[in-house]
Amino acid sequence: MTVPRLVLLAAGWWLLLLAFYLVLVSHVTALEIAVGLGIALTTALVAAAAAGPFRPASPPRVLEWRRVWWLPVDMARDTAVLVAITLRRVVGRGGAPEGRVERRGLPPGEGREAAGVRAYAVLVLSASPGSYVLAVDSRDDDPDEVALHLVGPSGRAGRAVTR
């Protein structure tokens, strides 16, 4: 990463972190601004230094973004399912929600791009409120699999990113 990009990155982090700090302070005084400037500058320099060696990866080409356009629908459905489960528990009409654990295969492949596709698939699987990834199993002799905890039906977006 070039020096001007690092400076721009550090400045952006500095402004963002300072704004975040000042939002969290109940009464903004000159002392709070000075403390916020120092803390935000220190943290921004660390963030820029940590980001320096890394180049941002391009979005996965193998796994097309249009395959997960169902994600907002899955998220809304899962939210409704979880609210219904919670309401049934509050009024005393429902037992413990029945979750289940499924094992699913991740997209195959070797190299950096394939690893990015698998990371993207794990993010999609965990994005919906009714599911989250418990573990990712990677073995040399076996393709990558995830242990996925589900409450409610399996979403279409999650099925699109697994095999």
What stretches in the chain show pLDDT beneath 70? Answer: 1, 52-67, 94-97, 139-143, 163
Could you read off the pLDDT of 90-102 as tens digits, one per residue?
887 766 667 888 8
Residues in the chain: 163
Residue 13's contacts (CB-CB under 8 Å, 6 or more residues apart) are 40, 43, 44, 47, 48
Task: Identify which of 158, 161, 150 has the alpha carbon closest to the alpha carbon of residue 74.
Answer: 158
Where exactly are the structural domains of the chain? 3-51, 65-160
Return the pLDDT at 38. 92
**Strand order from edge to edge, sheet including 99-105:** 99-105, 145-151, 131-137
Return the pLDDT at 67. 65
Number of H helices, E strands in the chain: 5, 3
Long-range contacts of residues 25-30, Cβ cutoff 8 Å, at least 24 apart = none
